[in-house]
Amino acid sequence: YCHLDFFTVGGGEILPILLDHVGDEIRIQGCSLIANLVQNNDHCQRIVIQSGILQKLLLILDQSENDDVRTKSLTAISALIRGYTLGQLQFQKFNGFKIVVKALSAQIPRLQLKICFLVNTLSISSQQMKKLFYENGTLDELINFYVSPTCPDPMHVVEAILSLSDAKKDVFQSLKERNNPLFDELEKKLNQRLEIVKSDAEQNDEKASIYQLLTFIQPSSSTVTTSTDSQAST
């Protein structure tokens, strides 16, 4: 079965109908269908992007009152724009950065973690996307999520924060100057997590990311900490 066949027989015409449906479960299935059709398929990405579906998905993410609908819309958005430049341009055109950053502040852990994955993936693959995420306030929202007591997966949030660490020169010095309390909370949380994971071999990825962030935040002190920790483990 080829996903292109779906569009060849006119299947694309039902996508906006599914997304506009009054039933949340139908909208969820519509978002899932889109994500499955376009995942790693630039031909299908192009067809869906040219149909204007991305704008509709962003509207759902921004305005739906159903957590599952919002989460599934983000899944579809992510599948549409990852690895596809035209999709990323459309994302920018329709205020996707502002909408996603706003959604990051919603208390929906699954949605927040999916946003972290999207930010990390796009920022690593594109300096321009990294710059635009940063300019739209993503770093501060990621840190707010990370330091919250309910953060469900600190490692993936740290990775997203780290992906924006070189969006411009002296990112964390700039954070300290404009929001010193948030900067202090970040440093405190990083050190707390380090105490938790540093003796756990299964947490080496998170430990490495924390050390890297601490190097950006406090270059001299974190170098000493890393050296001391390395000596202790030998």
Please report, for the chain, the start and end positions of each structural domain, with discontinuous segments joined by +: 1-94, 106-228
**Tens-place pLDDT, residues 111-122:** 999 999 999 999
Low-confidence ranges of the chain (pLDDT < 70): 1-2, 219-234
The radius of gyration computed from the CA coordinates of the chain, to the nearest angstrom, equals 20
Residue-averaged pLDDT of the chain: 92
pTM of the model: 0.90
Q: Which residues of 139-170 are buried (b: 16+ CB within 10 A; e: fewer)?
A: bbbbbbbbbeeebeebbbbbbbbbbbbebeee
- Predicted local confidence at residue 8, as pLDDT: 82
Q: What is the pLDDT of residue 6?
A: 86
Q: Length of the chain, please?
A: 234
1-94, what's its fold?
A: Leucine-rich Repeat Variant (1.25.10)
State pLDDT tens for residues 59-83: 999 999 999 999 999 999 999 999 9
